[in-house]
A = this chain, B = another copy of it.
Amino acid sequence: MFFASDNWAGAHPAIAAALTASASGFAAAYGSSDLDKLVAERFNQIFEREVEVFFVATGTAANSLGMASVSRPGGVVLAHREAHMIEDESGAPEYLTGGARVKPVEGALGKIDPARLEEAILHPATRFPHGGQAMAVSVTQSTESGTVYSLDEIETIGAVARRHGLPFHMDGARFANALVALGTTPAEMTWKRGVDLLSFGGTKNGCWCAEAVVFMDPKAATQFPFLRMRAGQLFSKSRFVAAQFDAYLRDDLWLQNALHANTMAARLAAAIEASPHARLAWKPDANEVFAIIGKAQSDALRKAGATFYEWTVPAELEVGSDEKLFRLVTSFATTSEDVERFAELIA
């Protein structure tokens, strides 16, 4: 019963096979192979426009170098207070941008509140040389709370960003899970709603290591080859990422994987809702379930072999003294058996 994280899974068999298939033969290095070019073209199709795509090693690198590409002196990125860039990247955005800051914006359920965003942008410390200057707005889709911004919500935030002349970034470490949850297209969920810059993650959804920065406007990407190389993020045998993305994006494998993960999460959520020993912290939209579970019950679950992490309780959530907040994550590799067994244990 593996619910610790979607990065505890390995690689999807089709992706492993694709990697092996491309292992032999010679190909140009550093992203200029035929397979690299084919995958770049595939991104154009998926996003229904000419985009510019760059592979990097990790989601943290994608976010940080994305921010570096729009960095300004004294720059301030506005992101949700629980954003990965704030809580889980050890200062990589600050480091790789050469000192820009990521300022937390409030909002329920992991989503930026547009009114608070506007306030943060208008705050003196993001408008004058003494304090700094707002330089980007970033949302996470799906969010760190397992929720998903609706298309309208993305559009509203995009409008705030645009009104203040700020690039709009989406951290899509779990892009496919959000896409499937909304039943929409990549184009609708990004540039048609104002997104300029995307961290496109494949690793959590069935790849070994496949992360990319996608520029919706190729003209904005001219300095990125230097930014990436300078950060030690340009793979020499780049085709090993290309091969993964090729399989990932072929025959809707990525959407199927995400759909499976979301479905498993919904079943987990239903089991928790039905349980007398546990309750949902909030309704999950994608592949992360946040549950408040009694101490005794959670110990028993772990003893029975379930893996999952305790989570920091947000200010707005009330948790009893003998309860704790836990996060359970599903993935392409989560089995129905594991979910059913968990459901039985918690019932």
Give A contacts to B, CB under 8 Å.
2, 4-5, 7-13, 15-17, 19-20, 22-30, 56-65, 68, 72-76, 86-92, 94-96, 98-101, 123-125, 129-133, 203-204, 208-209, 223, 225-237, 239-240, 307, 312, 333
Contact = CB atoms under 8 A, between A and B. Distances in A.
A330 B27 CA distance: 14
A129 B238 CA distance: 15
A60 B96 CA distance: 15
Nearest to A225: B129
A240 to B, nearest CB: 4
Instruction: Pick from A87, A225, A229 the residue with the most CB of B within 10 Å.
Output: A229
Contact of A74 (B10, B11, B23, B229): B229
Given A7-B236, A29-B7, A95 B98 contact: yes
29 contacts: A7-B237, A11-B240, A19-B20, A20-B20, A24-B333, A30-B130, A57-B61, A58-B236, A60-B229, A64-B232, A68-B73, A72-B223, A72-B226, A73-B230, A75-B91, A76-B91, A90-B226, A91-B100, A92-B231, A94-B99, A94-B100, A95-B98, A95-B231, A98-B99, A129-B229, A203-B237, A209-B235, A209-B240, A231-B232
B90 A10 contact: no
Nearest to A15: B23
A230 B10 contact: no
Contacts of A91: 73-76, 99-101, 132, 230
Contacts of A8: 26-29
B29 A10 contact: no
A333 B99 contact: no
A60 to B, nearest CB: 4
A57 B2 contact: no
Instruction: Pick from A4, A57, A96, A223 the residue with the most CB of B within 10 Å.
Output: A57
Contacts of A233: 57-58, 61, 232
A326 to B, nearest CB: 14
Contacts of A28: 4, 8
Nearest to A241: B209
A28 B307 CA distance: 10
